[in-house]
């Protein structure tokens, strides 16, 4: 099938020259669709005749010259323009280049030069059209993706932003091209620093950056940003931006299902605690809450009070640890002026002050024995005798007690009254240590990070997989309280939005992770290999686990005869 001849529009104000050019074109097999003598006429003919190419004289009669005419034609259609002129001065050439012509012929020119210029222009136009169609197809595909795609040049300026990326802030494409990323995704300085740190890593070591964009007039937006190198440009980056707000909302809903009266947990042990709290809130019995330090014994006591019929009464708490005999008796039962040295006025005790409500005796195992005797009588008689008084006063309250000690052992060794133990453990709740409910760690971490973002003002949104590994492997002697404090420490130290192992308190890293040999018999080789395995080959993290510098780790690898490939 014969290829149709290219349609060409001639713009030339000298009629004889125009006729000559038309003759040349027709001999070469092209089809001349018209000849215009002015810029205005050329614009009209280009719009109606739709030529494949325009041969444009630079200097033509009329208010606009050939360069301006070419600009106007190019605004409305894609026809390539070849300039024809007898002038080749620098100023004319510079003006012509701004229109991005497909060729520039200086008069007089040979017929073969004209043909070569036209064929090159038509070929370039076809190539440009294919490139443009490919680019349009690519943009259409990227725009159809749910995640956003952003291309940055080596200086961090935006070269392309897909529709999904632009929707984050509701900006148009023209408003962000050539600007830095915060113009599109309003990251804070700390979040930009975290993204820059991720960009500086090798591709295989990069993790997604989780960021939370707080907005005054709408819910916060949760994003995950993945970084890839642009293979076409050294230093260029391609960012894939995922809006995980629905997942975050779902996670919050799931977390709320595992929240109970300010306590969090989805483990079987915690579900049993929640059920016990509900059951014991319906009765008025004394309850003994047992658990290690930091497990949340006071939270349990407050939950029982809030769910009980005494919820409208006061909830008073006292820590019995470290109280002398007189001070403990005075605080609990009250005293009259002059009943002991320093008693300069009458004082009502906590048993009276908590009337109609609940009194929580934390660390009851540390009460002096004589006060334990008085406490037993008060629980039996529902009446108190203040120091310095002779008449009993009736009291109406519920007593909840807590201890981290084994009171049965304490009673067997004479440090706690056996009969009081029987009286306070009418009902009991045993709180599990954190190390026995590690499946609750993720929920607790999210909740504590949200609290610490509010208290510190730092936008730290999550912990890295490696840092979560450290948290999961740690034995948590201080339980939930220690976890909360450890995360606050990490938030303060974190310079980005993602907590890394090096941000965590040193005691969490001093003890090697589970599976890392931790005894004198373990060889140096085993320890190094275990640390590298746990850190997934990351030398910096392995060195942190071993408590040595990265340089020291490399030296030990050489001493042990391990090169990089063996270590991996």
| Domain assignment present for 258 | no
* CB 465 within 8 Å of CB 471: no
Q: What is the pLDDT of residue 240?
A: 87
Query: Is 494 in the same domain as 539?
Result: no
Check pLDDT > 70 for residue 101.
yes
What is the largest distance, in Å, between two alpha-carbon atoms of the chain? 133
Which of 185, 215, 246 marks a domain boundary? 246
At 111, list the tokens. Answer: 């017929």
Q: How many structural domains does the chain have? A: 5
Cα 145 versus chain centre, distance? 21
At 418, list the tokens. Answer: 């056996």
* CB 497 within 8 Å of CB 211: yes
pLDDT band at 452 (very low <50, low <70, confident <90, very high): confident
Q: Which of 69-78, 118-127, 461-470, 542-551 has the lowest mean pLDDT?
A: 542-551
Q: What is the pLDDT of residue 2?
A: 57
Which of 108, 136, 164 marks a domain boundary? 136
Check pLDDT > 50 for residue 522.
no
CATH number of the domain bearing residue 333? 3.40.50.300
Residues 138-164 have a mean pLDDT of 79
| Domain assignment present for 260 | no
| Domain assignment present for 234 | yes
Query: Is 240 in the same domain as 353?
Result: no
Query: Is 54 in the same domain as 18?
Result: yes
Tens of pLDDT, residue by residue over 418-451, are 999 999 999 999 999 999 998 888 889 988 998 8
What is the value of pTM for the model shown? 0.58
* CB 359 within 8 Å of CB 351: yes
Query: Is 293 in the same domain as 401?
Result: yes
pLDDT band at 482 (very low <50, low <70, confident <90, very high): very high
Query: Is 128 in the same domain as 152?
Result: no
| Domain assignment present for 516 | no
Query: Is 379 in the same domain as 286?
Result: yes
Query: Is 339 in the same domain as 407?
Result: yes
Q: Which of 59-68, 168-177, 269-278, 326-335 has the lowest mean pLDDT?
A: 168-177
Q: What is the pLDDT of residue 534?
A: 66
Query: Is 182 in the same domain as 326?
Result: no
| Domain assignment present for 352 | yes
Q: What is the pLDDT of residue 106?
A: 80
Query: Is 276 in the same domain as 420?
Result: yes
| Domain assignment present for 71 | yes
Query: Is 441 in the same domain as 423?
Result: no
Per-chain mean pLDDT for the chain: 82
Query: Is 414 in the same domain as 461?
Result: no
Domain of residue 548 covers 524-567
Q: What percent of the chain has pLDDT over 90?
A: 26
At 238, list the tokens. Answer: 């391609």
Residue 547: DSSP 8-state? T
Query: Is 278 in the same domain as 399?
Result: yes
| Domain assignment present for 470 | yes
At 166, list the tokens. Answer: 């632009």
| Domain assignment present for 281 | yes
CATH number of the domain bearing residue 493? 1.10.8.60
Tens of pLDDT, residue by residue over 249-272, are 655 655 556 567 788 888 899 999
């Amino acid at each position: 099938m014969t290829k149709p001849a290219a349609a060409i529009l001639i713009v030339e104000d000298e009629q004889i020259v125009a006729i000559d050019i038309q003759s040349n074109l027709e001999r070469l097999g092209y089809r001349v669709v018209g000849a215009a003598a002015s810029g205005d006429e050329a614009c009209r003919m280009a719009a109606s005749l739709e030529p494949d190419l325009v041969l444009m004289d630079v200097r033509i009669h009329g208010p606009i010259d050939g360069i301006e005419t070419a600009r106007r034609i190019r605004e409305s259609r894609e026809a390539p323009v070849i300039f024809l002129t007898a002038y080749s001065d620098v100023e004319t050439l510079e003006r012509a280049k701004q229109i991005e012509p497909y060729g520039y012929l200086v008069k007089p020119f040979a017929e073969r030069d004209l043909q070569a210029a036209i064929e090159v222009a038509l070929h370039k136009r076809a190539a440009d059209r294919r490139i443009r169609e490919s680019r349009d197809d690519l943009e259409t595909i990227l725009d159809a993706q749910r995640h956003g795609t952003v291309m940055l040049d080596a200086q961090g300026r935006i070269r392309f932003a897909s529709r999904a990326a632009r929707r984050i802030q509701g900006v148009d494409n023209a408003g962000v091209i050539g600007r830095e990323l915060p113009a599109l995704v309003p990251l804070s300085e700390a979040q930009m620093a975290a993204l820059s740190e991720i960009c500086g890593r090798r591709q295989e070591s990069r993790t997604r950056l989780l960021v939370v964009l707080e907005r005054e007039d709408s819910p916060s937006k949760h994003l995950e940003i993945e970084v890839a190198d642009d293979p076409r440009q050294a230093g260029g980056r391609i960012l894939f931006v995922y809006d995980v707000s629905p997942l975050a909302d779902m996670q919050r809903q799931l977390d709320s299902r595992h929240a109970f009266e300010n306590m969090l947990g989805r483990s079987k042990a915690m579900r049993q605690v929640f059920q016990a709290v509900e059951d014991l809130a319906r009765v008025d019995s004394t309850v003994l809450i047992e658990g290690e330090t930091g497990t949340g014994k006071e939270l349990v006591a407050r939950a029982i009070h809030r769910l009980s019929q005494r919820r409208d009464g006061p909830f008073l708490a006292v820590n019995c640890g470290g109280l002398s005999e007189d001070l403990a008796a005075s605080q609990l039962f009250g005293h009259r002026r002059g009943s002991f040295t320093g008693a300069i006025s009458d004082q009502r005790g906590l048993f009276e002050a908590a009337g109609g409500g609940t009194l929580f005796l934390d660390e009851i195992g540390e009460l002096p024995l004589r006060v334990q005797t008085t406490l037993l009588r008060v629980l039996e008689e529902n009446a108190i005798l203040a120091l310095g008084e002779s008449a009993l006063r009736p009291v109406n309250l519920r007593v909840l007690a807590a201890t981290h000690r084994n009171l049965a052992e304490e009673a067997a060794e004479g440090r706690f009254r056996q009969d009081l133990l029987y009286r306070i453990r009418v009902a009991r709740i045993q709180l599990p240590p954190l190390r026995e409910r590690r499946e609750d760690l993720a929920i607790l971490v999210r909740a504590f990070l949200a609290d610490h973002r509010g208290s510190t003002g730092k936008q730290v949104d999550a912990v890295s997989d490696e840092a979560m590994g450290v948290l999961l492997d740690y034995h948590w002697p201080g339980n939930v309280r220690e976890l909360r404090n450890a995360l606050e420490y990490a938030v303060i130290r974190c310079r980005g939005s993602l907590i890394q192992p090096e941000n965590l308190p040193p005691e969490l890293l001093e003890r090697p992770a589970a599976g890392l040999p931790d005894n004198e018999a373990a060889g140096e080789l085993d320890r190094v290999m275990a640390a590298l395995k746990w850190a997934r080959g990351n030398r910096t993290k392995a060195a942190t686990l071993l408590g040595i510098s990265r340089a020291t780790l490399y030296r030990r690898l050489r001493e042990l005869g391990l090169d990089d490939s063996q270590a991996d």
